[in-house]
């Protein structure tokens, strides 16, 4: 298994030692030749913020973003797995105590709002943990 994840992208803007790179996130079937006839294929543009103090990049430049695959697993855990377990635990506990599914559902939603609020507040700390590197994309020029 590879320990790095790489994506090609284009620099959208540069400001205050931060490079904003647009990448196209595609589903597994987005590269299929029949994707125009299929509703399952999709792709989204994502903007990734990458700290850069070198100043060697410019707007509209093709670059490669790379990061450790463990960062992806941590992001999935923080964004989906942990909140799911917190909601299930909160609903089960509340329904067990109050014998009300309505109160359990409201508790689950409250836990979810609180959890994502905490993630939003700690986003600067998380940015320091999830670090991507930026490289110039090599162009393959063949001389005939």
What CATH number is given to the structural domain containing 112?
2.40.50
Query: 74 with 126: CB under 8 angstroms?
Result: no
Residue 141 lies inside a defined structural domain of this protein: no
Residue 30 lies inside a defined structural domain of this protein: yes
Range of the domain at 117: 4-136
Q: Tokens 């400001």 appear where?
A: 15
Residue-wise pLDDT tens digits, 16-74: 889 999 997 766 565 666 566 555 555 678 898 998 888 889 999 999 999 898 998 99
Residue 142 lies inside a defined structural domain of this protein: no
Residue-wise pLDDT tens digits, 77-112: 999 999 999 999 999 999 999 999 999 999 999 999
Domain count along the chain: 1
pTM, full prediction: 0.70
DSSP state of 140: -
Residue 111 lies inside a defined structural domain of this protein: yes
DSSP state of 43: E
Residue 143 lies inside a defined structural domain of this protein: no
pLDDT at 128: 87
């Amino acid at each position: 298994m590879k320990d790095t994840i790489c994506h090609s992208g284009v620099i959208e803007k540069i400001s205050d030692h931060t490079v904003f790179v647009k990448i196209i996130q595609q589903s597994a079937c987005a590269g299929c030749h029949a994707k125009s006839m299929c509703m399952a294929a999709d792709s989204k543009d994502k903007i990734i913020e990458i700290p850069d103090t070198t100043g060697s990049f410019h707007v509209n430049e093709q670059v490669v973003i790379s990061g450790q695959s463990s960062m992806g697993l941590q992001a999935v855990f923080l964004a989906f797995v942990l909140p799911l377990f917190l909601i299930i635990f909160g609903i089960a506990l509340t329904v067990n105590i109050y014998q009300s599914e309505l109160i359990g559902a409201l508790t689950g939603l409250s836990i979810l709002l609180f959890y994502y609020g905490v993630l939003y507040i700690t986003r600067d700390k998380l940015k320091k943990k999830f670090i991507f590197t930026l490289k110039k994309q090599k162009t393959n020029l063949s001389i005939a």
